[in-house]
Amino acid sequence: MTFTRFVLSKRETTLTVVAGLLTLLGLAVVYSFPTWGGLGGMALFAAAIAVGGFPVARHAFRELWLSRSLGINTLMVVAVVGAAIIGEWAEAAIVVVLFSLGEALEEYSAERVHGALEGLLDLAPPVALEILPTGESRETPVERLAVGDRVLVRPGDRVSVDGVVRAGQSAVDQAPITGESIPVEKKPGDEVFAGTINTSGALEVEVTRLAADNTLSRMVVLVQEAQLRQAPVQRFIDRFARVYTPAVTGAAALVAVVPPLLFGQPFWGEQGWLMRALQMLVIACPCALVISTPVSLVSAMTNAASRGVLIKGGRYLEALSRVRAFAFDKTGTLTEGRPVVTDVVDVCTCGECPEDCGLQHAASVEAQSSHPLARALLAEAEARGIAVPGAQDVTLLSGRGIKGTVNGANVTIASHAHFDEYVPHEPSVCRQADELAAQGKTVILVQHDDEVCALFGVADTPRASSRQALAALRARGIHTVMLTGDSPTVAEEIGRHVGIDEVRARLLPEEKVSAVAALAEEYQIVAMVGDGVNDAPALAQADVGIAMGGAGSAQAMETADVVLMSDDLAQLPFIVQLSRQARRTVTVNIAFALGAKVVVFALVAAGLATLWMAIVADVGATLAVIVNGMRLRR
């Protein structure tokens, strides 16, 4: 919405426009008709004060009567009435118009930020193509869809619901939710989110969340709640303003009375001390000071939300700007969180087995297991296009391995540490296994009848974004630490690969909490990054708890202070940089707001300022801090 449309859509701002036109007309009459224009101008100025000042007077009454406090509106009413009493009708009217214009600018900036947030909800279509039991489809409002219903998402359409793909394959642009710049391939079993864009093939999606509880809706609710959680500097400014306004009112009364009584100075007139006291009231109006912090913090949080990062309050944004250490969980945070086969070593010496026979036999037996390592072997066989025959007589070996029969041959699969219990093997195989283990990999051996035919190295691989993100944090002077329950060998290898500063391994959940507390003693402000589920105690211990993958986890969105909607660690340097920019902007805004008042106070003391100059300075300072704060939205 443009500022003009905003002004005309509100009753109070429309009154401000009318008051402004009356004031301009009054000035024209006064300067065009010197002989009789004074009386006509005064009537027009009085009308402008009545029209534009009505909302201000109403707010002042509420401040005094309901809140029992002296606020900004009360200061303005006193200044306007005082100016009118001493005959400065033109200045009184100008004060009303400029003050109301400043208030309108504040409200407009808040609506712009709020509108950007509400715009997220508009990303999700209001209707969906529901698939009926007959196979036909019809348009249905998303509010009427129930969990378990199915909808059709055509190529080029926005996804209307949170759900799971049941049929079809496509690439989905998830940038509105997760901030990911590259569309993500989706196949049956994958999650999709309302507001994302289906770029290619048609998808049949089963609804998993109601419209009121989808990811977009939860994002908006969380950011709206975050805006109510004030940062420490914001709470200080609000407390300061509550004391400041009555103090300034009392000081202005003394300025008006003391010099005339004690020193015989003039009380009335343009250079009288009453006028200076009124100027002081106008200058002292803390509009710019009060708005300087919230406009900056809310703009920054809205910017982050548009990029797939939810910051749940100004205090967390402020804390992020002062973080000196980041602690990371390993599994699922620095790494992908799922094992993959990194090495396939053929050690068969019979000369009769085809290439990849060891992987084929292993995948055949592991096909009947749900163990993560089994899934890794099956995925590797599928990636290599290996046919997997069925296995018979499959038996688990007490948590140490698995065995079965493939094409009449006995096949045993176990970790290297347990393999000698079933099949003794050559020292050369042990050496190769030890080399892989030294790299932090889990080593699996497969035996075909009486001979070891292959060994596999399996590891949880680092995320592609980990190394770059950690380097960017280090460049910003932040110490990085891995906290993991894994073995030192595995942890050190992952740490070396991603370039982390410090590794602490074999930690129980309660020891992670103690580790975060110890880091806080050394580095003062600490952030902890995890999945928001297993790391909940450590996230709570940190000054800022950051959960990853919030788009697919309601628990992560509820437990953490900051939520990365995607699994992209590259968002961490972004939010650190954004928080530091927000802190600098708040500092500049406060300094400018106070500095402008000091300068104009000096002009008032010297008798060089007029009442309208004072209000221009106040409105100008307010507008400047609003514009400066709203730059953080970009």
**Under a CB-based contact definition with an 8 Å cutoff, are residues 454 and 344 in contact?**
yes
Q: What pLDDT is recorded for position 118?
A: 61
Q: Is the pLDDT of residue 479 over 90?
A: yes
* % of the chain surpassing 70 pLDDT: 83
Which tokens is 96 given?
A: 């009303």
Q: Which of 153, 176, 211 is where one domain is finished?
A: 211
* % of the chain surpassing 90 pLDDT: 21
SS (HEC) of 566-619: CCCCCHHHHHHHHHHHHHHHHHHHHHHHHHHHHHHHHHHHCCCCCHHHHHHHHH
Are residues 468 and 414 part of one domain? no
Domain assignment of residue 160, yes or no: yes
- Calpha distance 157→196 (Å, rounded): 9
Are residues 556 and 604 part of one domain? no
Domain of 424, CATH number, reads: 3.40.1110.10
Tell me the catalytic residues.
Answer: 329
Domain assignment of residue 218, yes or no: no
Which tokens is 110 given?
A: 């808040």
**Under a CB-based contact definition with an 8 Å cutoff, are residues 327 and 572 in contact?**
no
Are residues 348 and 433 part of one domain? yes
Closest CA to 309 of 536, 544, 512, 498: 544
Please name every residue paired with 186 in a beta bridge, in sequence order, or none if there are none.
170
Domain assignment of residue 475, yes or no: yes
Structural domain boundaries, residue 107? 3-118+225-298+581-633
> Angle of helix 11-32 relative to helix 37-65, nearest 10 degrees?
150
- Calpha distance 614→616 (Å, rounded): 5
How many structural domains comprise the chain? 4
DSSP H helices, 404-525, are 416-419, 427-438, 466-475, 488-498, 509-523
Could you tell me how far CA 269 lies from the centroid of its own chain?
A: 54
**Under a CB-based contact definition with an 8 Å cutoff, are residues 617 and 283 in contact?**
yes
What pLDDT, in 10s, does the model give residues 287-342? 677 677 777 888 888 888 888 888 887 888 889 999 999 999 888 889 887 888 88
Q: Which of 211, 245, 276 is where one domain is finished?
A: 211
Domain assignment of residue 417, yes or no: yes
Are residues 449 and 341 part of one domain? yes
Q: Is the pLDDT of residue 556 over 60?
A: no
Residues 6+ apart with CB under 8 A from 369: 394, 396, 402
Are residues 477 and 455 part of one domain? no
Lowest mean pLDDT, pick from 59-68, 107-116, 255-264, 582-591: 107-116
What pLDDT, in 10s, does the model give residues 247-293? 777 887 888 888 888 887 887 766 678 877 877 777 776 667 767 77
Q: What pLDDT is recorded for position 49?
A: 92
Residue type, position 343, single letter: D
Are residues 423 and 494 part of one domain? no
Closest CA to 408 of 358, 455, 448, 460: 448
What pLDDT, in 10s, does the model give residues 179-224? 555 678 888 999 998 888 898 789 999 999 998 888 778 767 766 6
What pLDDT, in 10s, does the model give residues 583-622? 999 899 888 888 887 887 788 777 777 766 776 777 788 7
Closest CA to 169 of 189, 196, 195: 189
Are residues 72 and 47 part of one domain? yes
Looking at every residue in the chain, the average pLDDT score rounds to 81
Domain assignment of residue 217, yes or no: no
pLDDT band for 516, please (50, 70, 90 cuts): very high
Are residues 53 and 164 part of one domain? no
Are residues 236 and 97 part of one domain? yes
Domain assignment of residue 147, yes or no: yes
Which tokens is 458 given?
A: 């399996």
Are residues 559 and 601 part of one domain? no
Are residues 167 and 34 part of one domain? no
Average pLDDT of the residues in 165-185: 77
What pLDDT, in 10s, does the model give residues 457-471? 888 888 888 999 999
Long-range (24+ apart) CB contacts under 8 A made by 426-431 are 426/347, 426/452, 428/347, 429/347, 429/455
- Calpha distance 333→338 (Å, rounded): 11
Q: DSSP string of 434-455?
A: HHHHHTT-EEEEEEETTEEEEE
Domain assignment of residue 219, yes or no: no
Q: What pLDDT is recorded for position 375?
A: 86
Q: What pLDDT is recorded for position 576?
A: 96
pLDDT band for 521, please (50, 70, 90 cuts): very high
Are residues 197 and 114 part of one domain? no
Q: What pLDDT is recorded for position 206?
A: 95
Domain assignment of residue 94, yes or no: yes
Closest CA to 332 of 561, 529, 554, 558: 529
For residue 364, how many C-alpha atoms fall within 13 Å in the half-sphere facing its CB?
A: 27
